[in-house]
Amino acid sequence: METKQFKAESKRLLDLMINSIYTNKEIFLRELISNASDAMDKLYYNSLTDKNININKDNLTIKINADKQKRTLTIEDKGIGMNAEELENNLGTIAQSGSFAFKNENEKKDDVNIIGQFGVGFYSAFMVSKEVEVISKPYGAEKAYIWKSKGAEGYTIEETTKEDFGTTIILHIKEDSEEEKYSEFLDEYRIKGIVKRYSDYIRYPIKMDVTKKELKQGSKDEYEEKTITETLNSMIPIWKKKKSEVTDEEFNSFYTSKFGEFETPIKVIRSTVEGTLNYDLLLYIPSNVPYNYYTKEFEKGLQLYSNGVLIMEKCKDLLPDYFSFVKGLVDSPDLSLNISREILQQDRQLKTIAKNIEKKIKSELEDMLNKNREEYEKFFKTFGIQLKFGVYNNFGIDKDKLKDLLMFYSSTEKKLVTLKEYVTRMKEGQDKIYYACGETVNKIDMLPQVEGVKDKEYEILYLTDEIDEFVLQVLINYEEKEFANVSANNLNLDSKEDKEKLEKLNEECKDMLSLMQETIPEVAKVCFTNRLKEHPVCLTTEGAISVEMQKVINALPNNKTIQAKTLLEINENHAIANKLKSLYESDKEELKKYTKILYAQAKLIEGLNIDNPTEISNLICEMISK
Ligand code: ADP
């Protein structure tokens, strides 16, 4: 018989499992039970629409059997089963191999963490088994197949016989060693404990034959051993239990096994809604970006249950895009089991639930912001960008819902702040919310334009995400305070006298300034400014498009390029001002060269490319060689 090799990724995970030093090996049972339960969900769900499937719901059970003599632990389900091809595909390749590869390389997590925190599924059986056999027969199929593997060498698949449909997994438990007592996984008491701990909520009975010593009838001291079948789980879904009855560990363990997550969530949201519409809600806000979040494969959505029966794995209509990172489930007895996806989308009740879920997530986030700032900041650093897109998308239709959840870095507080906080701190007479854009907080902090505004003791929001300025444009204002880019040329921070003085100066030097402008025609205007303290020059913009926006838009593929209307401003109090004036009198050609250099400087400060680096370099050399 041919021994087949595991796919590379699977082999790596398998090696990890086999040689695992991970202490929490017991989770293998949780994973296998969870698979069994999923398989029965699938079969039951199909039976609702396929009249060829006749099953008695009460027969859908999971059976565990431990045989100490043979050292086998068997888990048997009446689920959908797998044919030869499915055995090959599902067990020869780990389902989420992508995530595994990603975690290992990018996060450099140690092996123990991978096993502990990432839903590892079927392969976890190899932590406790020297050999695993999977015998499976799909419902209605003629043939059954057996998949066998001792781990790293590969696996075999051959035909076999199996009376009933479903899947039986036989684990040949490893021998005990000095460090590990694998025999514990054959112990009834221990197995009961593991099931209770991780799989209590499974909605199918998990049954096990247990031996009990009982007094012989009519005897006072003679015992006999009896085998009775016990149901080990309460079958109450975790999401139907009161929050107070469930420990954090249980919520988290459910999350890792159910949603293939590897790190505990930042927040668990659990609520029961009763009234015209009834439903239970269990939501998780992940603490990290899901590994495939920014790929095409990522699908948002919540699991949808009708009275404990899974009717949809990912119901996307239940989550708005800006909360797409939320994982979890909704269970409502008011939704029909047989509802098709198409009808579901139109379903009024579903829409109401979706609206409520959105409100609930929002209020939980607000709560976190108010009560646990540190946690919220962590959340915002991870998912804030989604909220920003939420504000920006669809022409800002959702902006009012989200604006109070936004945060930006503050020049005075040196941390993330909300718009509300900014506004409550505004100086007397301040009527604008000032912001500056750039790649990093440090770079923004060094912008000449920022210096002047900081000098006047205004708080400035530092925008470092590309989308930030677009977000503010969509918001237009916050509590009627408009947003003002410190690089806008109409910032208007000056006193009346200063303004007049500056206007006078610009008027006097009109001819010189227009000669300079002609030298650099890209620029709409060259003028003196009093907004700068130490710096000689800066670029400002006029109109709706700022330099940062120009950069972002021009970086987009298939987009026409745009040009911000820029102005070159020269510090009226800097020595360079007088130098320029005197050059205008003595050497106009030299003035043109100075202009080009100053403009190149201003562009570099803004992080823009200069079109003529060689020319500028030569000019600078010419100057310093004098
Ligand atoms: P996951 O459950 O996260 O998809 P697993 O490695 O645990 O990953 O299982 C891989 C696949 O094998 C499952 O998605 C499922 O299709 C199939 N499978 C596993 N166990 C069973 C079972 N008991 N019955 C039917 N199919 C199963």
- For 297, list phi and psi in degrees, rounded to 5: -70, -25
CATH, range 489-626: 1.20.120.790
571 lines ligand 1 (CB under 6 A): no
Homologous superfamily (CATH) of 11-231 is: Histidine kinase-like ATPase, C-terminal domain (3.30.565.10)
3-state secondary structure of 99: helix
Compute the distance from residue 222 Cα to the ligand 1 centre, in Å.
47
Q: Which among 83, 122, 149, 199 is the best mutation to test ligand 1's pocket, defined by most ligand atoms within 8 Å of the CB?
A: 122
90 lines ligand 1 (CB under 6 A): yes
Chain-centre distance for alpha carbon 281: 20
- Look at residue 372 in the predicted model and tell me its pLDDT: 97
Residue by residue, DSSP assigns 548-614 as HHHHHHHHSTT------EEEEEEETTSHHHHHHHHHHHH-HHHHHHHHHHHHHHHHHHTTPPPS-HH
- For 446, list phi and psi in degrees, rounded to 5: -95, 0
- Look at residue 338 in the predicted model and tell me its pLDDT: 59
> Six-digit token pair at 60?
């859908």
- For 43, list phi and psi in degrees, rounded to 5: -65, -45
Could you read off the pLDDT of 78-115 as tens digits, one per residue? 999 999 999 998 887 654 433 444 344 444 445 544 44
Query: In this structure, which residue's CA is closest to atom 10 in ligand 1?
Result: 90
CATH class label, 238-372: alpha beta
Residue 260 CA: nearest ligand 1 atom is: 3
| Helical residues (DSSP H) of 477-534, grouped into ranges | 496-508, 510-519
The CA–CA distances, whole Å, from 580 to 146, 205, 215, 599, 625 equal 88, 88, 110, 13, 19
The CA–CA distances, whole Å, from 442 to 111, 411, 435, 452, 468 equal 37, 10, 14, 16, 17
The CA–CA distances, whole Å, from 348 to 128, 307, 352, 360 equal 49, 18, 6, 18
138 lines ligand 1 (CB under 6 A): no
Compute the distance from residue 174 Cα to the ligand 1 centre, in Å.
22
Contact 172, 129 (CB under 8 A): yes
Beta bridge partners of 227: 211
Chain-centre distance for alpha carbon 484: 31
Query: In this structure, which residue's CA is closest to atom 15 in ligand 1?
Result: 90
Q: Which residues of the chain have pLDDT under 70?
A: 20-23, 93-120, 337-345, 558-559
461 lines ligand 1 (CB under 6 A): no
Contact 423, 478 (CB under 8 A): yes
Compute the distance from residue 90 Cα to the ligand 1 centre, in Å.
6
92 lines ligand 1 (CB under 6 A): no
- Look at residue 17 in the predicted model and tell me its pLDDT: 72
Compute the distance from residue 35 Cα to the ligand 1 centre, in Å.
5
Query: In this structure, which residue's CA is closest to atom 1 in ligand 1?
Result: 121
Beta bridge partners of 329: 282, 303
| Helical residues (DSSP H) of 419-492, grouped into ranges | 419-424, 441-445, 448-455, 468-475
93 lines ligand 1 (CB under 6 A): no
3-state secondary structure of 378: helix
Q: Radius of gyration (Cα) for the chain, nearest Å?
A: 34
Contact 203, 237 (CB under 8 A): yes
567 lines ligand 1 (CB under 6 A): no
* CA–CA distance, 337 with 334 (Å, rounded to integer): 9
Q: Residue 183 carries which side chain, given as an amino acid letter?
A: S
Query: Would you put residue 581 in left (φ > 0), alpha (ψ -120 to 50) or beta?
Result: alpha
121 lines ligand 1 (CB under 6 A): yes
Contact 106, 169 (CB under 8 A): no
Dihedral of the CA atoms 171, 255, 349, 367 (nearest 10)?
170
**Residue spans per domain, the chain:** 11-231, 238-372, 489-626
- Look at residue 174 in the predicted model and tell me its pLDDT: 96
Place of tokens 């199996």: 162
82 lines ligand 1 (CB under 6 A): yes
| Neighbour-count burial for 14-49, b at 16+ CB within 10 Å, e otherwise | bbbbbebebeebbbbbbbbbbbbbbbbbbbbbebee
3-state secondary structure of 617: helix
* CA–CA distance, 6 with 600 (Å, rounded to integer): 59
Chain-centre distance for alpha carbon 350: 24
100 lines ligand 1 (CB under 6 A): no
